[in-house]
């Protein structure tokens, strides 16, 4: 397999687990020089070991200004940045579970403010042909109840993507990916041997017939960061197995709605 990203310098936020871990390992195996930042010290160290010698783990919470500055100082000290993947985000619930002012704004700082600040810090330190990929979510298009903190952050990062793509023209291409249901079990510290147990409905509610895997997002990120996507910027790529395109009606496709269950 050709190493498209050999010697490219890559920064990934939230790289210690889940999709972020998959991205960290995949870029490292491509021969990239990978930096990743996370609050999970144990998971981060495990990921760095698994990635091999060409990978550096930075422990810290990117909702803090001094951590963002430290990340910039470490990465920029060795040269310009080729790829920035803004992946880190969490949910702290929503209006039904009493998500507080502090909780809501923490999620926004993590999922929207930090990506903006990293783009700003690296603005003059991107390499020629640089690419930013923001990990949004299909939840910026549709919602479950009590998800306001996460949904707002994902909506924010999707909108920030097209704004940055215009402001950073000639500096970096900026795109986002909106994953649907991606099974990340087994991609976190302490989850070795995890085996998903899907129902037939879990699989068949996706037109492709299966639940997503972290590798599906890795492939999308690789594409958007490659020369093959050189004419693509400001776009959001939905990677959800077609789930957001499947219309759902009561008593259709084996699905029924019982309002008494609400």
Residues forming the active site: 150
- Contact between 27 and 12 under an 8 Å Cβ cutoff? The reply is yes
* Bridge partner residues of 13 (DSSP): 37
| Residue the block writes with tokens 């590798």 | 215
- Contact between 141 and 244 under an 8 Å Cβ cutoff? The reply is yes
| Residue the block writes with tokens 């649907």 | 180
Number of Cβ within a 10 Å radius of residue 56:
16
Write the DSSP string, 124-155: TSEEEEEEEEEE--GGGTS--TT-HHHHHHHH
Could you give the count of Cα atoms lying within 13 Å of 251 in the half-sphere of its Cβ?
A: 0
* Alpha carbons 48 and 21: distance in angstroms, whole number: 9
- Residue 219, token pair as written in the block: 């492939």
């Amino acid at each position: 397999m050709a190493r498209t990203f050999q010697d490219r310098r890559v920064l990934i936020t939230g790289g210690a687990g889940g999709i972020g871990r998959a991205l960290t390992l995949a870029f490292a195996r491509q021969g990239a020089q990978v930096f990743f930042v996370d609050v999970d010290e144990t998971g981060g160290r495990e990921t760095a070991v698994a990635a091999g010698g060409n990978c550096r783990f930075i422990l810290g919470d990117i909702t803090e200004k001094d951590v963002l500055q430290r990340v910039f100082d470490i990465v920029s000290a060795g040269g310009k940045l080729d790829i920035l993947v803004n992946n880190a985000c969490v949910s702290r619930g929503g209006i039904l579970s009493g998500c507080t002012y502090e909780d809501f704004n923490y999620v926004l700082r993590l999922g929207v403010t930090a990506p903006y600040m990293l783009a700003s810090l690296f603005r003059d330190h991107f390499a020629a042909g640089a690419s930013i990929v923001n990990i949004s979510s299909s939840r910026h298009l549709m919602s479950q109840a009590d998800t306001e903190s996460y949904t707002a952050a994902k909506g924010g990062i999707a909108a920030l993507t097209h704004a940055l793509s215009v402001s950073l023209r000639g500096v970096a291409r900026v795109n986002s990916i909106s994953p649907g249901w991606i099974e990340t079990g087994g991609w976190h510290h302490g989850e070795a041997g995890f085996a998903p147990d899907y129902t037939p409905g879990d699989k068949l509610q996706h037109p492709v017939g299966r639940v997503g895997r972290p590798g599906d997002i890795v492939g999308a990120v690789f594409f958007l960061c490659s020369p093959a996507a050189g004419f693509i910027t400001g776009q959001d790529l939905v990677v959800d197995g077609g789930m957001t395109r499947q219309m759902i009606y009561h008593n259709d496709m084996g699905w029924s709605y019982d309002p008494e269950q609400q």
